[in-house]
């Protein structure tokens, strides 16, 4: 059972072209949070300007 708040965070992460992970990789930026227990970070590939 997912709490509504954590589900909302996961959807928000996906809309920002991110994914929920335990740790962000070296070429990714941490852009927010997801579920606190298993996948706490929302990660997205770093954009080079």
pLDDT for 1-49, tens place per residue?
456 777 888 889 899 999 999 999 999 999 988 876 788 999 999 877 5
pLDDT at 36: 65
Angle at 41 between CA 40 and CA 42, to 5 degrees: 135
What are the φ and ψ backbone dihedral angles of 16, each rounded to 5 degrees?
Answer: -90, 15
For the domain that residue 31 is a member of, what is the CATH number?
A: 3.10.360
Which structural domain, as residue segments, surrounds residue 39? 4-45
Q: What is the pLDDT of residue 2?
A: 56
> What predicted TM-score, i.e. pTM, was given to this entire model?
0.74
* Residue 22, pLDDT score: 92
Q: Provide the number of structural domains found in the chain.
A: 1
What local confidence, expressed as pLDDT, does residue 46 receive? Answer: 87
Q: Say how far apart CA 46 and CA 17 lie, in whole Å.
A: 11
């Amino acid at each position: 059972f997912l709490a509504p708040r954590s589900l909302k965070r996961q959807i928000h992460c996906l809309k920002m072209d991110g994914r929920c992970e335990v740790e962000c990789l070296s070429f990714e930026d941490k852009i927010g949070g997801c579920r606190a227990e298993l996948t706490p970070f929302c990660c997205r590939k770093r954009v080079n300007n």
